[in-house]
Structure 1
Amino acid sequence: MVPIQELTYFALAALVLVLSPGPNMVYLISRSITQGRNAGLVSLAGLMCGFLFHIFMVAFGLTAVLFALPHAFTLIKVIGAIYLLYLAYQSVRPNGRPLFEANTTLAHDPPARLFKIGVITTILNPKVAVFYLSLFPYFIKPAYGSVFWQSIQLGLTQVSISASINFLIVLTAAQVARFFANNPTWVKVQKWLMASVLVGMAIKMALSVAE
């Protein structure tokens, strides 16, 4: 299993990322404002189930790659570092699309559809899978034991943190929306903070490849 020190660092990285406004946060706040907290919570449950799909796909994929091509792990890390740098650029690039823009014109959907949309939204988001593939290899080491169970451990840690923060966001959706609308400077600050974290992770991953 992943050592507690490494898991703690991973948890901090996951916390910074979930606090940065993105599609999931926008969707949850939009649904919560449009249809109320219950709709937001149902949507959140769908999003989290979508994460579980990606976690198992990545866990099986990394395990298969390690057994078939042990040195491919290094290639995955290199690609992951490059992708993290790309995400950092996307978060601060000039004239980029605002990360937060709540949509209050959504149609009112029944709980089953809200859950389904949440699941599909996450499953069909290729960035989720690519991000997992970028981040997980840095923390996973064959010496720690089963690659599969390490992937599950990291995935459940990320989902727990994401679910906790997004749960609070659903409960305070209107206040969060108002905060972002009235504090554009904070949005810029969090963009650069997220970019810094991503660059730092990319550098660490690159250094681990060079070792």
Structure 2
Amino acid sequence: MLDSNAFAVYLFTAFLLAITPGPGIFYVAARTLSGGRSEGIASSLGNGLGGLFHVVAGGLGVSAIVLASAELFTALKVVGALYLVWMGYRTIRHARLDYMSLGHAEPPVGTMRAFRDGVLVEVMNPKTAAFFLAFIPQFVDTASDHVVLQFLVLGAVSVAFNTLADIVVAFAAGRLRDGAASRPNLIRCLREGSGGAMIMLGCGLLLAKRPVA
């Protein structure tokens, strides 16, 4: 199994990567500013489940097949990018409609939908699969009879760190949103900004290139 020193290095590296601002953190912050702390936490948990999907797929070799196929990689990233852009557009549109309705705002998206969106956004992001396949094998003891198990354990640890970091971001962004609760114009700006962030994340995913073996 894993060498204790190698595992310690992995934990440290995975932690640093988890707290480094990236698309996942920006997405959770955007969802929190748009729908509140509960939706942000739900999005974090959804992202975590989506991350576990990629870990299992990577351990079973499915991710390698997707990344090796230009067609599958492109199809997955286009669907994921369009979904992000659609959510961003919807967020901006609702922010403006709610502001113009003078208090008769539409109900929030809700935690279940935020959770589902988080799962779908992460599952449809081939860059996540590429990350796990590039990062985790460096710490796997290939001489062991439990290579797949090692991959799954290391992947689960990475996902746990990422999810915890996302939840911390959700709480921080939630406090910012709560502080602006009495200022409808600021809330509108925050929601529009979060929608714009989702659109930019979608565009960034659309421009992602397939890793070269």
TM range (shorter): 0.5 to 0.7
Per-residue deviation, 1:174: 5.5
Counterparts of residues 1-211 of structure 1 (less than 5 Å): 1-61=1-61, 105=92, 107=94, 108-173=108-173
Does the CA-based 8 Å contact 1:30-1:106 persist in structure 2? no
Aligned partner of 1:100 in structure 2 is none
Q: 1:42 to 1:173 in 2, by over 3 A?
A: same
Per-residue deviation, 1:175: 6.6
What value does the CA root-mean-square deviation take over the aligned residues? 2.8
Does the CA-based 8 Å contact 1:45-1:118 persist in structure 2? yes
Query: Following the alignment from structure 2 to structure 1, what is the Cα–Cα distance between the partners of residues 15 and 154?
Result: 13
**Secondary structure at 2:109 match in 1:** coil
**Secondary structure at 1:172 match in 2:** helix
Per-residue deviation, 1:112: 2.2
Per-residue deviation, 1:29: 0.8
Per-residue deviation, 1:46: 0.6
Does the CA-based 8 Å contact 1:11-1:161 persist in structure 2? no
Per-residue deviation, 1:134: 0.6
Structure 2, unaligned stretches of length 5 or more? Answer: 69-90, 95-107, 178-213
Query: Following the alignment from structure 1 to structure 2, what is the Cα–Cα distance between the partners of residues 106 and 172?
Result: 24
Per-residue deviation, 1:9: 1.1
**Secondary structure at 2:61 match in 1:** helix
Query: Following the alignment from structure 1 to structure 2, what is the Cα–Cα distance between the partners of residues 120 and 48?
Result: 11
Q: Structure 1 vs Structure 2: percent identity of aligned residues?
A: 28
Per-residue deviation, 1:31: 1.4
Query: Following the alignment from structure 1 to structure 2, what is the Cα–Cα distance between the partners of residues 174 and 48?
Result: 19
Per-residue deviation, 1:148: 0.9
Does the CA-based 8 Å contact 1:58-1:129 persist in structure 2? yes
Query: Following the alignment from structure 2 to structure 1, what is the Cα–Cα distance between the partners of residues 93 and 139?
Result: 39
- Give the letter for the 1:17 counterpart: L
Does the CA-based 8 Å contact 2:43-2:118 persist in structure 1? yes
Does the CA-based 8 Å contact 1:51-1:159 persist in structure 2? yes
Query: Following the alignment from structure 1 to structure 2, what is the Cα–Cα distance between the partners of residues 18 and 136?
Result: 14
- Give the letter for the 2:165 counterpart: I
Can you list the C-alpha shifts for 1:60-104, whole angstroms capped at 9, x where unaligned? 118x99xxxxxxxxxx9xxxxxxxxxxxxxxxxxxxxxxxxxxx7
Per-residue deviation, 1:159: 1.2
